């Protein structure tokens, strides 16, 4: 059973005066919450959440996809032997994941095609068939 949610006066004032950040649709970019438009977008995180949620119960056995944000972290040399991680992340880093089920891969590809017609989300699929198990790799990004 749900418990009644009680808002204190500060939270209620924020809701009434729209002093909260907007939540935008990742596909059509419309403001869902009608907030104050002062929201910082994290496209890779939003895309990862979208794909994880959309395909959480799909596929064989346990199902799901496990997207990760590919920030291109490389180690760079800063001396004769020392290296540091180059972990700069941008708001347009791609989201990557792979699946081993061809049926699920086809479903994901269809979903990406649908999203690309509706908005700025783009993606590509790479089939790796050189091994005993076929792997279907995906890279999805938000087109500027």
Q: What confidence tens digit (pLDDT) does each residue in 71-91 have?
A: 776 666 677 667 766 667 777
Residue 30 placed within a domain: no
pLDDT of 13 reads 58
Residue 52 placed within a domain: yes
In percent, the amount of the chain with pLDDT more than 70 equals 73
Strand order in the sheet with 68-69: 68-69, 95-99, 135-142, 121-128
pLDDT of 74 reads 66
Choose the weakest-confidence range: 6-10, 23-27, 35-39.
Answer: 6-10
C-alpha–C-alpha distance, residues 45 and 119, integer Å: 17
Token pair for 9 = 């006066």
- Mean pLDDT, the chain, rounded, equals 80
**Could you tell me the pTM of the whole model?**
0.72
Residue 28 placed within a domain: no
Residue 20 placed within a domain: no
Range of the structural domain that residue 94 is part of: 41-142
Residue 84 placed within a domain: yes
Residue 74 placed within a domain: yes
Residue 69 placed within a domain: yes
> What residues have CB less than 8 Å from 133, skipping those under 6 apart?
100
Domain count of the fold of the chain = 1
List the one residue out of 89, 97, 94 whose CA is nearest residue 121. 94
Residue 120 placed within a domain: yes
pLDDT of 18 reads 54
C-alpha–C-alpha distance, residues 137 and 139, integer Å: 7
pLDDT of 1 reads 39
């Amino acid at each position: 059973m749900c418990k009644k949610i009680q808002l204190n006066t500060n939270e209620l004032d924020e809701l009434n005066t729209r002093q909260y950040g907007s939540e935008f649709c990742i596909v059509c970019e419309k403001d869902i919450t009608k907030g104050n438009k002062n929201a910082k977008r994290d496209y890779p995180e939003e895309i990862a959440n979208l794909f994880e949620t959309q395909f959480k119960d799909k596929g064989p056995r346990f199902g799901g996809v496990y997207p990760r944000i590919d920030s291109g972290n490389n180690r760079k040399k800063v001396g004769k032997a020392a290296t540091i991680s180059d972990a700069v992340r941008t708001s347009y880093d791609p989201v990557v994941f792979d699946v081993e089920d061809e049926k699920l891969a086809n479903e994901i590809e269809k979903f990406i095609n649908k999203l690309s017609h509706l908005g700025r989300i783009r993606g590509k699929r790479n089939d790796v068939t050189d091994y005993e198990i076929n792997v279907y790799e995906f890279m999805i990004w938000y087109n500027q």
